[in-house]
């Protein structure tokens, strides 16, 4: 079972010609609301990749629709809590070239307390995985608890905060970052390469260029090239990649095969507007023709 203590956001997508510059006002040509949050996106990706996923998180009084949507995607939502105050939401500005800028309001995601985390993880064991991102509270406690019970702990260092990474790093088996976060980590820890950080495994996504997976224990490095597609919206592509890859690894899939499937899943996501709602099914991913 994969436990994911992750954010649950209402994503508001605004299509604009370009990302506004400081002081600029722009009229959006379209607005949409969908389900998102780095946590939810990864839960949906992991479920679509064929894993059993228990999402652990918090919404506010306005969040029932998000829990229902996540549940109808096949994710176990029974332990999601409802807290007083607003849910998390994200303002996502999407430019014509598919690039984005995101502002999040954390809301209930950052109100999760230590008692709740202990309750959620009371049953986690050595056969389970715990997935975390940097949009919820109590991440270090969660990682420490899961690690002490022998579970594998995966951390996506996004939104990036070097101090948070430093705090949680001793309890992490597997780190997911993009290339900007990887460079910031090298800089912050003043190391030559990320294999000096002490994590066993590392996934670095490089946007349209592909991704690299390192397993330092096994001295393994695998690279995949990005698949050229018609870009509509890059939001959530990293979550899709990471979610698919973790799920397939946790199912015992060979890392090269897992990386290739995750790469296709992320490429397909980019062809659609949206986040959790736009994450492709495994059937669509396996049907996806690399050559086009």
Residues in contact with ligand RIB, shown as a per-residue x/- string from 15 to 44 under the rule CB under 6 A: ---------------------xxx--x---
Q: Which residues is 132 bridged to in the sheet? A: 5, 155
Query: Least Å distance between CB 59 and ligand RIB?
Result: 13
Q: Which of 60, 106, 236, 280 binds ligand RIB (CB under 6 A)?
A: 236
- By residue count, the chain amounts to 292
DSSP 139-174: HHHHHHHHHHTT-EEEEE--S--HHHHHHHGGG-SE
For residues 197 and 191, is the Cβ–Cβ distance under 8 A?
Answer: yes
Q: Is 250 in the site for ligand RIB (CB under 6 A)?
A: no
Give, in order, the Cα–Cα distances in Å from 198 to each of 190, 194, 206, 211. Answer: 14, 8, 22, 20
Report the residue number, 11 or 76, with the smaller CB distance to ligand RIB.
11
Query: Least Å distance between CB 38 and ligand RIB?
Result: 4
Report the residue number, 128 or 135, with the smaller CB distance to ligand RIB.
135
Residues in contact with ligand RIB, shown as a per-residue x/- string from 61 to 100 under the rule CB under 6 A: -----------------------------x----------
Query: Least Å distance between CB 36 and ligand RIB?
Result: 3
Q: Is 7 in the site for ligand RIB (CB under 6 A)?
A: yes
User: Parallel, antiparallel, or unpaired for β 129-133 and 9-15?
Assistant: unpaired
Give every CB contact of residue 36 below 8 A, 6+ residues apart in sequence.
9, 10, 11, 90, 92, 235, 236, 274, 275, 276
Q: Which of 11, 76, 128, 239 is catalytic?
A: 239
Q: Which of 9, 87, 93, 263 binds ligand RIB (CB under 6 A)?
A: 9
Catalytic-residue membership of 239:
yes
Phi, psi of 232 (to 5 degrees): -110, -45
Q: Is 275 in the site for ligand RIB (CB under 6 A)?
A: yes
Please count the other Cβ atoms lying within 10 Å of the Cβ belonging to residue 124. Answer: 22
Q: Is 102 in the site for ligand RIB (CB under 6 A)?
A: yes
Residue found under tokens 């600029």: 24
Residues interacting with ligand RIB, by CB under 6 A?
A: 7, 9, 11, 36-38, 41, 90, 102, 104, 135, 235-236, 239, 275
Residues annotated as catalytic are 239
């Amino acid at each position: 079972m994969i436990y994911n203590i992750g954010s649950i956001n209402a994503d508001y997508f605004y299509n604009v010609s370009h990302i506004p510059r400081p002081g600029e006002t722009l009229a959006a040509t379209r607005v949409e609301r969908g389900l998102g949050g780095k946590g939810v996106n990864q839960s949906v990706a992991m479920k679509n990749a064929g894993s059993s996923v228990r999402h652990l998180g918090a919404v506010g009084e306005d969040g029932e629709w998000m829990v229902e949507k996540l549940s109808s995607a096949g994710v176990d939502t029974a332990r999601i809590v409802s807290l007083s105050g607003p849910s998390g939401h994200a303002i996502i500005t999407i430019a014509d070239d598919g690039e984005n800028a995101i502002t999040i309001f954390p809301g209930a995601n950052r109100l999760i307390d230590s008692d709740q985390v202990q309750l959620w993880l009371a049953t986690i064991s050595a056969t389970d995985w715990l997935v975390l991102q940097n949009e919820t509270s109590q991440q270090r406690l969660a990682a420490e608890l899961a690690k002490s019970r022998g579970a594998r702990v995966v951390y996506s260092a996004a939104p990036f905060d070097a101090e948070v990474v430093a705090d949680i790093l001793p309890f992490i088996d597997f780190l997911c970052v993009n290339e900007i976060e990887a460079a910031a980590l090298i800089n912050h820890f003043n190391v030559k390469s990320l294999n000096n950080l002490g994590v066993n495994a590392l996934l670095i996504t490089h946007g349209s260029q592909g991704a690299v997976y390192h397993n330092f224990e096994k001295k393994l490095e695998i690279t995949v090239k990005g698949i050229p597609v018609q870009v509509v919206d890059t939001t959530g592509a990293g979550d899709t990649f990471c979610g698919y890859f973790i799920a397939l690894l946790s199912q015992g899939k060979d890392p090269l095969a897992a990386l290739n499937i995750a790469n296709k899943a992320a490429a397909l996501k980019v062809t659609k507007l949206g986040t959790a709602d736009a994450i492709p099914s495994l059937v669509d991913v396996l049907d996806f023709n690399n050559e086009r």
